[in-house]
Structure 1
């Protein structure tokens, strides 16, 4: 996994140098892929909600959230791979250790899958109330694939290969929809939707087979040793795991703090998922763009946050109004009369999505600045705060809203404090905390 000696050269390593500052065209391409990905995600949720009653949907949603949690943690590899490749364009590295991120990802994925399988008797009975061992197996194997998927995305983002980046995103989402549609048509039931959840974990392999650009990116060496890469990635994985708890893994957190969620939990989980997806799916998909942007604007980190934050806040406020006005009607008519929620709840949940979106932005800025400890501390603090708030002696809907609104504010404060304390460019000095 590590070589030494020759100067770092992306082209000779099999990749290509970044083209320059992240451009609007890259945002447009990833934005288009994100729209397709979001529609595919909605399609899977729609089919599952229509095919399964609320209680059954809540079981599916917990596995969907569990896989989102572990795959979200794996996306820390995306962040570190993007930062290392992108930062290399601003560094003059003549010699030193090298690492192959895709090989590192393969090892991390294998070890993580084994850890899930070995530890599953301790926790799986508390999380998966049906299809327990199928869920554990799919979770472990799917995570191994997602580690490679996320790292390949990071390499492509660092190299400005946004068409291949978007294709990999769409391939992941498309495979999920194909399996979900087949499940709906043949009446496979819960098990089919569990398979659909992890189906996209093989998209990276398909891309390596059909895309020369992806193969070149996968062969790239980065100008740090494996140990240094893993040290930075460990912080990113910790933070990404904490963020995944608040984003994709929130149903698991609700399950852990509430016991049996039942039909009421299925409604709340679906409401949370639908109100946050329009904002958080694009932000999650654009992590590569955001980190590349903040690396390129490394001399003005806080100023570089302003425009993205205004976009997130503006789009989110429009979402709040839409959720209040038409959300209940869409939920009832789109998913069935069993799914009832009032406009105020949907509006507040959308407000929680804004808070998590802003935390995602400040986190990306911290990663770009190599503030790994502050990045992970911010997300962990937000998750701990949200978890404690979910333990309040209130009804499920109220404590869910309070946790999603207030928890992220703690993490935002941590990130902004760290960013404001560093007011000079650090790209000339490689410092992995």
Structure 2
């Protein structure tokens, strides 16, 4: 059962959640977001240049599979943020989200291992056993990471939150640098994908505020918190399929169409890289500020459309500039920075950027739906987007065209579903 959207916000006389909401603290989150984006680009650059287009395709599919599962775990962050913020503002202490989130993470890791015979052969073409093991360990660790992110967001402790984001990104970038320096291959980059999730251990060691936040209370009993968290995860899973899992969808739908030849494999590798690169400038900041967005929409439940206007306008403006830049210089940047194997037409790169903008707009409306308590509309919007995108990927078109169509049409339809949910909530 989801949060009741009619629940009033903090009263003037109620205890306020501890936090640091000044411009300096929020600026730290912005800097951490830049660090995370730059580190992500660095890892992709190192992997692409070190592994080549085909090797990069193997690495990127594992990266996407890990992002697909941990993307669903963002539901843990979302519900923890809501539960902790409400508990702090209303003076409630009815559960320990850490226990719930840890149990869910271990259960999810076990599920990954138990079901791997059903899907691993189609998804992972190399190092299959190691890939499954790394995926299971990574999602178990990410459950604690997501909990700590949500706890810090619910307490409005943005300074420590920024540290957590930065450490996560820098650990992964350092691992990629070592892999290249030593001359390790694709297997090392699979491990690099998951090591960042251990950042919560580093931050807990050095930060007293993180240690105070890790065991913070939630506003509802454990059973209700578990149901809320699993509901949020089911909704977040849909967004993860379309956002981080899209390279997996490309591989699966290509396989259903008979499998790629060598030239198509290189094209798919270039497409996967371009999809990832065009999304990062918008989706990385949005993911970093997810807790802040949810808090903003919760605090403005009586002015939902007005609260949506500014974030949607910023995303659309930035996306429009990105589409133009991608058309003009995108192909040259791909070839110059990542190598001659990564060759795509300017129109394709521009359309991929437009698709990234549509996904970013869908992410904003999804946060508004969660804040409004419209979790079913949130899930429906993302799942409709995903199903439409999959249908587009199965069209009898070349891989570039069907990828671009899927990334634009699917999110736009889902966005409409979210807006209806926000208005009806």
Shift of 1:25: 4.4
Unaligned runs of 5+ residues in structure 1 are 1-14, 423-433
SS in 1 for 2:244: coil
Contact 2:19 2:156 in 1 (8 A): yes
1:408 aligned residue (407, 411, 418): 411
Match of 1:169 in 2: 165
Q: Which residue number in structure 2 is paired with residue 12 of structure 1?
A: none
Task: Tell me the distance in 2 between the aligned counterparts of 1:136 and 1:16.
Answer: 43
Other-structure match for 1:392:
395
Q: Indicate conservation of the 8 Å contact 2:290/2:367, yes or no.
A: yes
Asked if 1:323 corresponds to 2:322, the answer is: no
In the alignment, which residue of structure 1 is the partner of 2:226?
A: 230
CA distance in structure 1 between the aligned counterparts of 2:206 and 2:33, rounded to whole angstroms: 21
1:62 and 2:58 are equivalent in the alignment: no
1:66 partner SS: helix
Q: Once the 2 structures are TM-superposed, how far is the Cα of residue 370 of structure 1 from its aligned partner?
A: 1.8
Provide the rounded CA distance (Å) in 1 between the counterparts of 2:135 and 2:338: 26
Partner of 2:4: none
- Report if the CA contact (8 A) 2:179-2:185 is conserved: yes
Alignment-derived partner of residue 338 in structure 2: 335
Pairwise mapping of residues 251-270 of structure 1 onto structure 2 (< 5 A)?
Answer: 251-259=247-255, 260=259, 262-270=265-273
By how many angstroms is 1:35 displaced? Answer: 0.4
| CA deviation string 1:343-377 (max 9, x = no partner) | 11111111001110011001101111222111111
**Equivalent position of 2:10 in the other structure:** none
Equivalent residues in 2 for 1:81-100, closer than 5 Å: 81-91=80-90, 93=92, 98-100=94-96
Unpaired runs of 5+ in structure 2?
1-14
Task: Measure, in 2, the Cα distance between the counterparts of 1:23 and 1:420.
Answer: 31
Report the Cα offset of residue 19 of structure 1.
Answer: 4.2
Is 1:136 paired with 2:135?
no
Go from structure 1 to structure 2 and tell me whether the alpha carbon gap of 1:386 and 1:24 turns closer, same or farther (over 3 Å shift): farther
Q: 1:329 Cα deviation (Å)?
A: 1.1
Residue 192 in 1 paired to residue 195 in 2?
A: no
8 A Cα contact 1:26 1:289, kept in partner: no
Q: Do residues 50 (structure 1) and 53 (structure 2) align?
A: no
Of residues 85, 89, 98, the one that matches 1:102 is 98
The whole-number CA distance in structure 2 between the counterparts of 1:369 and 1:68 is 26
Instruction: Identify, as 1 or 2, the structure richer in helix.
Output: 2
Map of 2:313 onto structure 1? 310
Greater displacement, 229-238 / 395-404: 229-238
Equivalent pair of 1:83/1:367 in contact (CA under 8 Å) = no
Q: Name the SS of the counterpart of 1:228 in structure 2.
A: helix
Which residue does 2:420 correspond to in 1? 417
How far the C-alpha of 1:102 sits from its partner, in A, is 1.2
Alpha-carbon distance between aligned partners in 1 of 2:70 and 2:412, rounded to the nearest angstrom = 24
TM-score by length of 2: 0.92
Q: Cα RMSD between the aligned structures?
A: 1.6
Q: 1:218 offset after TM fit, Å?
A: 0.7
* d(CA) in 1 for partners of 2:367, 2:229: 14
Is the CA contact (8 Å cut-off) linking 1:251 and 1:269 kept in structure 2?
Answer: yes
